[in-house]
Amino acid sequence: MLRIHEQGQNPGANVSFSGGIRPPVIMQIIPGLDGGGVEQGVIDMNAAIIAAGGLSIVVSAGGRRAHEITRAGGTHIQCPVNSKNPFVMMRNIERLKKIIRDYQVDLVHAASRAPAWSARKAARECGIRYVTSCHAAHRVENGFKRFYNSAIAKGERVITVSHFLADYLVEEYKIPRANITVIHRGVSLEKFHPNSVTPDRLIKISKNWRLPDESPVILLPSRLTEGKGHRECIEALSQMKHQDFFCVFVGKDRKGRFRTELEQLIEEKNLQSRVRIVDQCDDMPAAYMLSSAIVCPTTQPEGFGRVPIEAQAMGRPVIATDHGGFKESVRSGETGWLIPPGDAEALALTLDAVMGLDTRQRAVLATQAMAHVAENFLNEKMCRETLAVYADLLGRGLSQAAPLAAVPQQQPGEPPQITHQPLVGSL
């Protein structure tokens, strides 16, 4: 059995800022605080900054998760930094300068393009340090789009969530490699671990989604939009030999059109009784635990993508496309599978193989996937490396009180762990 030491309650608990005559004040800026990987990273860093002895301010247009900033001890300030209106963006410069001066901010970290335009100007005029982070390879369709996208590349230090994005920034915006720091996203093993999910949570999700008894569940968690592979998944489901399954698409259709198109395609493939679309899920660990396979069949490369590492942390089979950040988070044939983008036939074949895994093969997968996440994608590691960027720019140090928690350990009397074994030889 794979045992993993529990993380501390706070992702920054093992390090603290050193030097300086007062705690550093860090301000993160993000368009909004609803769902999403970027938002989760801001929330995690808010807690880490506070645990490291700093003061944290988050500026956003608000959202259902804004309360998590104040609950962790940070300060949330609502401001229309989500706007792409040039006049609003100009006014935001003065708004941000006032916040910087009122709170004696030392460093600004912009996590999106629109607020980055205002944040950079405000930081420069106030004479403080400035960091940006890049989470996606935004399309460069024309000169104006390139100019707009370039805001995220103008930090004194640019944090990217994958080497794939670092290459993108160098190629598209000619950023010196020395100015880029790659920090993979991390997961909290307090939240994403099989032992953390209670039976009542599984029952609640199962009832809410009206899951049929006994049928294996295939999960595709992603907002309903082009490029996430929903069409390819529907086509793959229609080609599978194993027809005893139930598939759930979890995600909102923000524009209100794509869901109708998917429902029509589901009907054309005669899959109405085996595919369901739900708007959102507030308990993803339980959703993963109910699933026999998690699919990420994106046709456009993701900058990183949280779903594969969350699924692996839960010890669940994940199938992702072989491009973008997925290539850095999934060891194909050991912790999951990577398939060619847009290849519905390959997805169908791989899903059939996953449905045919026996108990031992699933145990091997779970052991290797969980160990992979524990070694490379811990929330503590992500927060510590980001704090190190802040400390470096501020001319301060970080003192480390304890080594990284959450490493796989074999307990006395347990059978040896199985590591780096291929799961299905024919894939």
- Each residue's pLDDT tens digit, 93-127: 999 999 999 999 999 999 999 999 999 999 999 99
pLDDT digits (tens, 9 = 90+) for 59-94: 999 999 999 999 999 999 999 999 999 999 999 999
Q: Which residues pair with 318 in a beta bridge?
A: 294
- In this prediction, residue 423 carries a pLDDT of 52
The domain spans of the chain are 3-186+378-400, 194-374
Supply the CATH classification number for the domain 3-186+378-400. Answer: 3.40.50.2000
- State the virtual CA torsion across 277, 279, 284, 286 in degrees, nearest 10: -60
CA quadruple 122, 123, 126, 127: dihedral sign: negative
Total-model pTM: 0.85
Give me the phi and psi of 271, to 5 degrees please: -115, 20
> Which has the closest alpha carbon to 14: 40, 42, 48, 38?
48
CB 395 within 8 A of CB 56: no
Distance between CA atoms of residues 167 and 328, nearest Å = 13
Handedness of CA 303, 163, 379, 129 (dihedral sign): negative
Q: Count CB atoms within 10 A of the CB of residue 288.
A: 25
Find out whether 310 and 336 touch, Cβ atoms under 8 Å.
Answer: no
Residues of the chain with pLDDT under 70: 1-13, 401-427
pLDDT of residue 401: 59
Pairwise CA distance, residues 31 & 137, whole Å: 18
**Is domain 194-374 given the CATH code 3.40.50.2000 in the classification?**
yes
Same fold, 3-186+378-400 and 194-374: yes
- Go through the chain and tell me how many residues it has: 427
- CA dist., res. 34 & res. 3, Å (int): 33
